[in-house]
Structure 1
Amino acid sequence: MTGTTRPTPDTAPTALDPAIAARLKRDAHGLVPAIAQQYDTGEVLMLGWMDDEALHRTLTTGRCTYWSRSRQEYWVKGDTSGHVQHVKSVALDCDADTLLVKVDQVGAACHTGDRTCFDADVLPLAQ
């Protein structure tokens, strides 16, 4: 789906389990942050955004689907880069406002080509 006609949880039919959808606490745009973590090492790879449809696709296909806020479209991690995220598990945090997606990352997770989005700019701690 492309363009700015992204379905919202209130207007689009979605196959996301209604019990899961009822628990999600979305932002004003209907999105929930999704942290991708390497399942076997615990390495934090990236942060993406999911709505009900992206979460449904992630849960049913075994591949991470995100909503691109900049491009205003769904994207499946690895479809263009080959750097696929194979989903091992998905968990909802205690506040139901963040997802943790444990994946087996093939190649780089970051769009810059780095393994993780969190290793290029480590901030100094005050002493």
Structure 2
Amino acid sequence: MIAEELFARLLAEQVVSNGLGASAAQRDRLLTVWATLGSIYLLDGSGEVMIDRDDGGLHPADESDRELAYVQAARRFPELRHLMPQRPAAAETCPRCRGVGELIFNNGVNRACCPDCNTRGWVPVARP
């Protein structure tokens, strides 16, 4: 899902701290794509997403977490845009974040992922 040369370059460029997720990223050759309080979202070369949680173990991502990781990976690494979920023709711009995918607080100082669209910026049209 990710070209081998591209993934190797991104791994080499990755700056890994000694914080949560650092040992798993280095040991298992995983790319850190997103971090929240208590969770690090990691991507392998095949496109699989693993989450390093506070309990110290790696866990496979569920569909929602995988989508969040793909969106964040595409934002952080433009070369990974192909991972972004494709917006269906019938989708609507998310009314909560107005298509940005993030909620912005305190005059832009703080940001959070929009829970309504899972950071995509769009939502499927509700069917009656």
With structure 1 as the length reference, what TM-score do the two structures score?
0.33
Higher helix share: 2
With structure 2 as the length reference, what TM-score do the two structures score?
0.33
RCO greater where, 1 or 2, for CA within 8 Å and sep 6 or more? 1
